[in-house]
Amino acid sequence: MNLFFPKFGYVGFQILVVTFCLFMIKPVRLSADDKEKKPFLGPLSLNFEPTLTVSPLGTPALVTDIASDAPGDTSRLERAVEFELIFALEIPTGLPRISLTGEVIWTPFATTDRNPFTGSTSAELGQSIRENPVELEAELNFALFTSEQTGGWLDMHFDVVDQFSPAEQPDDRAWYTHKLNFELDTAFMVFNWLPESNWLHSLELEVSLDYLATGLPGKGDVVSAENIRYLNDANRWSLSFLFVLPLAPAH
């Protein structure tokens, strides 16, 4: 049962994020000279991030088939490994260890049995239907330690994320909903030994542990599109492996 993040809507989501940010951010005093030299939002950088995501991480939810008359007809949802393409815009700030990130996420090879816009099914069309919605994320990033502290080999940051993605709860009233997500990202600069003139020098291998706090089905929820009832809460954990390829690095 999800005790910490019940279905409290987007207003509650905003209150939680703002409260967390106020708790984490310490006051920073800048002199007049500092304010002139350091704009609050630093130079932007754009990254391309091919990603493999394992979801859920751990035991999938137990469900029952609502179309079946057989008692005790239960099964567990399958664990999926999805390939995603991500474009990430990173925005440094004038606050120590705090930055912003905006992401556009696309899953090019996902398929579905029904087209949500036309109602056509894969059985009617005689072929699979591509499920290719675009997801958006707005992140507030807190650096736990930086590459400068590890000789350029490693950095780690904790992210508070507003994920705007297709609805998953049966009582959602929009195709897309806002969800609260927490991420712990660790980046490995595996080619740091190469000269900076080599484009591989800036390539990173990143591992991201995610906890999607809101927006997933809970115990007792019926998802009519899949003819299933959840017998426990959906597993909220996932693990991603990605390459970070700088397209437009900050200068």
pLDDT in tens, 106-140: 999 988 888 877 878 888 888 888 888 899 999 99
What is the mean pLDDT of the segment spanning 173-190?
A: 96
Phi and psi, residue 160, nearest 5°: -105, 120
- Specify the CATH number for 9-248; select among 3.40.50.620, 3.40.50.720, 3.30.70.260, 2.40.160.20: 2.40.160.20
Least confident among 14-28, 109-123, 186-200: 14-28
Mean pLDDT of 164-183: 95
Q: Among 11-15, 68-72, 133-137, 155-159, which is the least confidently predicted range?
A: 11-15
- The larger pLDDT score, comparing residue 6 to residue 157, is at 157
Which pLDDT score, from 0 to 100, does residue 37 have?
61
Distance in angstroms (rounded) separating the CA atoms of residues 177 and 226: 19
What is the domain partition of the chain in residue ranges?
Answer: 9-248
pLDDT band for position 17 (cuts 50, 70, 90): low
Closest CA to 164 of 151, 174, 156: 174
DSSP 3-state of 250: coil
Residues 46 and 103 sit within 8 Å (Cβ to Cβ): no
Q: For the chain, give the number of residues.
A: 251
Query: CA–CA separation, 184 vs 124, rounded Å?
Result: 43
Say what the pTM is: 0.82
Q: What is the mean pLDDT of the chain?
A: 85
